[in-house]
Amino acid sequence: MQFHLDGFRPGDPDLREAAPNAGGPLPAEVDVLIVGCGPAGLTLAAQLSAFPEIVTRIVEQKPGPLQLGQADGIACRTMEMFQAFGFRERVEREAYWVNETSFWKPDGADASRTVRHGRIQDVEDGLAPYPHVILNQARVHDFYLDIMRRSARRLVPDYGLKLMGLQIGGDGVAVRLEGADGAEVGVKARYVVGCDGARSAVRQALGLSLQGDSANQAWGVMDVLAVTDFPDIRLKALIQSAGEGSIVLIPREGGHLVRVYVELDKLKADERVAARNITVERLIGAAQRILRPYAFEVKEVAWWSVYEIGQRLCPRFDDVPDGEDRDPRVFIAGDACHTHSPKAGQGMNVSMQDAFNLGWKLASVLRGRAAPALLRSYTAERQAVARELIEFDREWAAMLSAPLRKEPGGPGVDPSEVQEYFVRHGRYTAGTATRYAPSALTGTGEHQALAQGFPIGMRFHGAPVIRLADAKPMLLGEALEADGRWRLFAFAGRGDDGGPEGGLATLCRALSDDVLPRFTPAGDDIDSVIDVRAVFQHGHRDLALGALPPLLLPAKGRLGLRDYEKAFCPDLKAGADIFDLRGIDRARGCVVVVRPDQYVAHVLPLQAHGALRDFFGGFMRSVA
Ligand SMILES: Cc1cc2nc3c(=O)[nH]c(=O)nc-3n(C[C@H](O)[C@H](O)[C@H](O)COP(=O)(O)OP(=O)(O)OC[C@H]3O[C@@H](n4cnc5c(N)ncnc54)[C@H](O)[C@@H]3O)c2cc1C
């Protein structure tokens, strides 16, 4: 991380300088009002709190932060996002790492006993730099709250405030909130984002509803401390029994806790699971029967819940009806837009990715960097992702609920098919399969061959490099911070050492003279909107720092200090050359454009200066 740019400041570098109007009671007018402190709301709040000039507030109907329960799966892709927010290491340290998954089925000789029939690596090699982990949703909230508290906005949620209604006007949204004492509070917001869960009041205020299967599936879930001789108690395990249903067992952080999901009954339309009076003893009994012949003695129940969930999707994620040509003011994200089973551990992850997609777009518009039309892309991009999620979940949930096949060719599912499906969809559940369709923000693939390992529309897949100036081994993806900036990685062609006649220096001159000044407000650092970095093919000791093009050693901040973190070389010592790993055309090099939410927006030749200018001009406001 970089700090001291505007002068030496002692103490915690994560504690940002406070904006003049930061903190304080809820003002009557805000730029963004976020409703709901779940993973979606907190991701968005953490993102927006990074911008001192944007007045963001987040309200939550509960009296304080979540303490336990709810979701716990954190996909590899989400860890990349946590890296951008700066708390990936904290999660890795605390979490349970899902290294392997095992599969159990009834013993052929005695169907009342369960036996292991498969054990596999959970995430395929090389798919992502960070592990798939399990950590209580409440801890994820804590990490976000920490970032918000130390941000320029000193953002702390306003608890005990419930959204009651909203009215969209010409220049903003009038929001009615109710305090715990019943008092009404009015706030005017330029934008409102409903991250208020499956029963979203914001969604209802927009006249939208979740559509899909009207019946809910009831789920029992318990986090327990248990004494057991089940050998895979510290592995994620899918256990299917002959006649008692199935359980998903998920070891939890701390070495002792374990989560058990028990699938219960399908409810009738509009039936609430609470009416069935399901007890934790029933869940424990089901787990004990399914785990037979192993003992499972529950010593303490840390949290348990029965909840109902349907596979449903909202047709729009904003307030603009189909056929109406205007920019949106109100958005919904997370469970407010899509609900599905917990079987694939996607709920928290996809919700956070919704918010990550929206956060930088709102910031760009509110900071005057992009026209409000940019906000239309949120529904377009995320609704497609959610649709895929619902389809995937429907298939996966059906597979896990299906009775076991008794004879070849008979009805039901064979346990080996379950394992095979799990492996086949590993990239999807890791969160790395999302691909945005071509649009103003996502280029078409004419030049994809220049960087085959950075598919356009998919998340930027980091790879090892050595930072030139200080020889630090790192992942190139670590340069992607959640700061709303675009990144442009220029991969040098063979032999190009940054000298004035080479392709890289020519690109840097074109960027400095034309592209960057067009979109960067006067007086701001040259990398404040588009951050240009370069990767050379040379070993890091074979390049002279002082010979780099000036754009790669920019003078920044109040003191005009140089930024030494723009140039990288392959990590040849580790034997993992990024040019080979990501299929970069060594002869020609290329430019890889990366969005603020870490997705690859474009791949272009080094010489495509005009195409770069046009690409950014397609959605950014020119300041020139
Ligand atoms: C009881 C429960 C148990 C769950 N268990 C699991 C599980 O075991 N495994 C799993 O994978 N997923 C589980 N989930 C789902 C998972 O937690 C969600 O997918 C994930 O939290 C979605 O995040 P979100 O931010 O969209 O919504 P949520 O986490 O639901 O957050 C919404 C927030 O908005 C607040 N809110 C709602 N209405 C208003 C209002 N009108 N005004 C102000 N605030 C409001 C809520 O209090 C809540 O804090 C569970 C969800 C619930 C509710």
Pocket test for ligand 1, best of 196, 224, 236, 278 (most atoms within 8 A of CB): 196
Whether 138 and 159 have beta carbons less than 8 Å apart is answered as: no
476 Cβ partners below 8 Å, 6+ apart?
A: 462, 463, 464, 465, 489, 533, 535, 568, 578
The radius of gyration of the chain from alpha carbons, rounded to an integer in Å, stands at 26
Does the C-beta of 39 come closer than 6 Å to ligand 1?
yes
Maximum mean pLDDT: which of 15-29, 231-245, 552-566 = 552-566
Q: Which residue minimizes the CA distance to atom 38 of ligand 1?
A: 196
Q: Please report where in the chains the tokens 């980091």 appear, as a residue.
A: 462
- Given a cut of 70, whether residue 116 has pLDDT beyond it is yes
Cβ count near 12 (within 10 Å) = 9
What is the whole-number distance in angstroms between the Cα of residue 226 and the centre of ligand 1?
A: 27
- Which atom of ligand 1 has the smallest separation from the CA of 62? 47
- Which atom of ligand 1 has the smallest separation from the CA of 333? 26
pLDDT value at residue 357: 98
User: For residue range 249-305, what is the model confidence (pLDDT) as tens digits?
Assistant: 999 999 999 999 988 777 777 777 776 788 999 999 999 999 999 999 999 999 999
What is the whole-number distance in angstroms between the Cα of residue 66 and the centre of ligand 1?
A: 10
C-alpha–C-alpha distance, residues 438 and 354, integer Å? 18
Handedness of CA 396, 398, 400, 404 (dihedral sign): negative
508 exposure class (CB count in 10 Å sphere: 0-12, 13-18, 19+):
buried
User: For residue range 373-418, what is the model confidence (pLDDT) as tens digits?
Assistant: 999 999 999 999 999 988 888 888 777 777 777 777 787 888 788 8
Does the C-beta of 350 come closer than 6 Å to ligand 1?
no
What is the whole-number distance in angstroms between the Cα of residue 199 and the centre of ligand 1?
A: 9
Give the pLDDT band (50/70/90) at residue 93.
very high
Angle at 102 between CA 98 and CA 106, to 5 degrees: 155
What is the whole-number distance in angstroms between the Cα of residue 610 and the centre of ligand 1?
A: 46
Q: Which residue minimizes the CA distance to atom 2 of ligand 1?
A: 70
pLDDT value at residue 215: 67
Does the C-beta of 496 come closer than 6 Å to ligand 1?
no
Give the pLDDT band (50/70/90) at residue 108.
confident
Give the pLDDT band (50/70/90) at residue 95.
very high
Q: Which residue minimizes the CA distance to atom 52 of ligand 1?
A: 70
